[in-house]
Amino acid sequence: MSSRSKKITKSQWSWAFYDWANSAFATTVMAGFFPIFFKEYWAAGMEGSESTFYIGSINSIVGLFIAFIAPILGAYADIGGYRKNFLGFFAVIGILATAYLFFIPGGDWFTALIFYGLGVIGFSGGNIFYDSLIVTVSEEKERNKVSSLGFSLGYLGGGILFVLNVLMYLNPDWFGLNSSTDAILYSFLSVAIWWGIFSIPVFKNVKDPFQGERKSLVTVSKESIISVISTIREIKKYKSAALFLLSYWLYMDGVDTIVRMATSYGSDIGLSASSMITALILTQFVGFPATLIFGMYADRIGYKRALSIGILIYIFVTIYGSMIDSATGFFILAGVIGLVQGGVQAISRSFFSNLIPQDRSAEFFGFYNLIGKSAVIVGPFLVSGVALLMSEPRYGILSLLILFIPGLILLWLVPEKDNS
């Protein structure tokens, strides 16, 4: 029986449902309500460019922190057999931090930033170990199918809860709430509950088999650092893969920055919260089918060419985004981003798989995932810092060209196959 005809197993469904669980944080909190609510509730009275700088800074600081700890913790989990333990640890941090946003009073912007940052750490850190568990629930030939299932459930689950949260925001009386402010606070609480409940299957039904001998903390720590250094050295031998990872880090920093800073930017140029939220829903549900279609198109024209088109579209998004002044323009941007966002992520992974030795794919993909999870360091700081210095948010969004253009140039320099 071919891998394509195999049914999706219970453990695979359970693994994929963690994407359904934590994507609610990415949509409702990170991309949706937090940037808007931070400006209107926790940082009310603060200049727009200043509050945007704080949001951008916390995203960059968290990205830097994840970049620092991820390789070592990832290797530690592999060597010590603690993938599920670390996933649980970070998930609990994210869930509790998100829930605590419900209790933070208006005006307390510093506490709100701290707990948002902890939530992002829980989300990003947990994904490192969630990704690594795919090797325990799937064979190599079916891994792309299982991975796509996770992406799809993430889009769907995050989108469903976000729509419910938006309805709460637009019509609080339907839910017995007194105001839109209460609706957003309860939305944060709903994300924490959703994340917690739908995380149960991965801990209950996914095994993290470890055949080796349990070692001391000191021994595992030393071996994990050695493993990271070894992986870096090995990747450097494959010049195409190394060049692609540098390109990937740059353009994904731009992609992730747009996800996290779009509503903050929209607020700064005077767009209403309801317009921006509606646009985010558009992105979410356009992205679900568009990712599949973009992948099929990439099979016809080649991964590198399709990925180049995606990045060129992001360059257009950046330039056009600096000129919009209406909700209609924001809707156009949302729709265009929805067409390519998931495709750029999926095709990047497929292209990378062609550049690495197949017998060492797990090792190389582990490093690829770590690069991806930490690729949101420069962008948020650029957008918020330039906007603050220039007193003009449009210059901030334009600064993302510093990431997209070099990322595209480096991509063009990557051969289709590694000849090392």
What tens digit of pLDDT does each residue of 311-343 get? 999 999 999 999 998 889 999 998 999 888 888
- What are the start-end ranges of the E strands in 263-336? none
**Token pair in block for residue 24:** 């609610």
Span 190-198, average pLDDT: 97
Q: Give CA–CA dist 232/82, Å, rounded.
A: 22
Distance CA 278, CA 40 (A): 18
The pLDDT of residue 245 is 92
User: Residue 153: its pLDDT value, please?
Assistant: 84
Place of tokens 């007194």: 178
Q: Cα torsion at 137, 5, 201, 341 (round to 10°)?
A: 90
Q: What percentage of the chain has pLDDT greater than the value 90? A: 41
DSSP state of 49: H
Indicate the average pLDDT of the chain. Answer: 85
- Which amino acid, one-letter code, is at 398? L
| Predicted pLDDT at 4 | 45
pTM for the whole structure: 0.81
- Lowest mean pLDDT: which of 207-211, 333-337, 376-380? 207-211
Closest CA to 250 of 152, 161, 379, 137: 379
Residue 245: CB partners within 8 Å, gap ≥ 6?
Answer: 235, 352, 367, 368, 371
CATH homologous superfamily, domain 13-412: MFS general substrate transporter like domains (1.20.1250.20)
- DSSP-based three-state secondary structure for 140: helix
Predicted pLDDT of residue 377 = 82
Q: What angle do CA 397, 409, 337 make, to 5 degrees?
A: 40
Query: Does the pLDDT of residue 308 top 90, yes or no?
Result: yes
Answer whether 102's CB lies under 8 Å from 189's CB: yes
Determine the Cα–Cα distance for residues 202 and 87; give it in Å rounded to an integer. Answer: 10
Calpha distance 195→218 (Å, rounded): 33
Give the Cβ contact number of residue 207 at 10 Å: 10
Which range is least confidently modeled, 33-42, 245-254, 264-273, 354-363? Answer: 354-363
Which residues are CB-contacts of 230 (< 8 A; sequence separation ≥ 6)? none
Q: What is the pLDDT of residues 46-69, one digit of tens each?
A: 888 888 899 989 988 998 888 777
210 pLDDT higher than 70: no
Number of neighbours of residue 297 by Cβ within 10 angstroms: 14
| Structural tokens at position 45 | 């009275």
Q: How confident is the model at residue 168 (pLDDT cuts 50, 70, 90)?
A: very high
Domain spans of the chain, in order of start: 13-412
pLDDT digits (tens, 9 = 90+) for 234-253: 777 888 888 999 999 999 99
* Selection from 130-144, 160-174, 231-245, 358-372 with the highest mean pLDDT: 160-174
